[in-house]
Amino acid sequence: EEQEEDTLRELRLFLRSVTERLSRDRRFKAFTKPVDLEEVPDYITVIQHPMDLSTILSKIDLHKYVTAREFVYDMDLIWKNALEYNPDSDPADRQIRHRACALKDTVHAIIRDELDEDFNRICERIRDSR
Ligand SMILES: CC(=O)c1nc(NC(=O)[C@H]2CNCCN2)sc1-c1cc(O)cc(O)c1
């Protein structure tokens, strides 16, 4: 009903604010757009589920997320993919792994600090009812 739509609109506003904050952070530049599969043809052979911040922003606007949990699942894909694709000891791999870990820590800290537990429970109940 109307209250549910008001709740989901507020969730989208929060998720957009988080995603845009991350997209402005210089450390996360490599995560802002899909990996170019023409530039990196082996990427799709290693990573089954590519994800990036612009795709998450599009999914927010397509009303794909009814809970923060679904949003965090996609955010976790971004840094997990980067760790999987960059396992080597060379400096380029180490740098992107460090940035992937920073993304993980930043996302989880924002959700811990800024998502109200009761608001989250209301979203989870809407999700369960659908
Ligand atoms: C996002 C990601 O996982 C990524 N990984 C890379 N790894 C490497 O280049 C390592 C791989 N091992 C051998 C030495 N090179 S480059 C890169 C990337 C960076 C961007 O600025 C944009 C973009 O679309 C992708």
pLDDT at 15: 99
Q: Which amino acid is at 13?
A: L
83 lines ligand 1 (CB under 6 A): no
The percent of residues in the chain predicted with pLDDT above 70, rounded, is 100
Please report where in the chains the tokens 């976790």 appear, as a residue: 76
pLDDT at 80: 99
Question: How much distance in Å is there from the Cα of 5 to the middle of ligand 1?
Answer: 39
Contacts of 117 (CB under 8 A, 6+ apart): none
Question: Which residue of 33, 38, 40 sits with most ligand 1 atoms within 8 Å of its CB, as the best mutation to test the pocket?
Answer: 40
88 lines ligand 1 (CB under 6 A): yes
| CB count in 10 Å sphere of residue 10 | 14
Q: Which amino acid is at 82?
A: A
Could you tell me which of 98, 82, 2, 68 has the C-alpha nearest to residue 34? 82
**What's the mean pLDDT in 49-75?**
99
Q: What ipTM was reported for this prediction?
A: 0.96
pLDDT-based confidence at 103, cuts 50/70/90?
very high
82 lines ligand 1 (CB under 6 A): yes
pLDDT at 107: 98
pLDDT at 53: 99
Q: Which amino acid is at 103?
A: L
**What's the mean pLDDT in 22-40?**
97
90 lines ligand 1 (CB under 6 A): yes
Cα–Cα distance between 103 and 99 in angstroms, integer?
A: 6
**What's the mean pLDDT in 110-127?**
98
Question: How much distance in Å is there from the Cα of 100 to the middle of ligand 1?
Answer: 11
Question: How much distance in Å is there from the Cα of 25 to the middle of ligand 1?
Answer: 17
Q: Write out the DSSP string of 38-75.
A: TTSTTHHHH-SS---HHHHHHHHHTT--SSHHHHHHHH
**What's the mean pLDDT in 27-40?**
97
Q: Which atom of ligand 1 is nearest to the CA of 47?
A: 3
Buried-exposed string 77-109: b where 16+ CB fall within 10 A, e elsewhere: bbbebbeebbeeeeeeeeebbebbeebbebbee
CB 99 within 8 A of CB 28: yes
pLDDT in tens, 41-53: 999 999 999 999 9
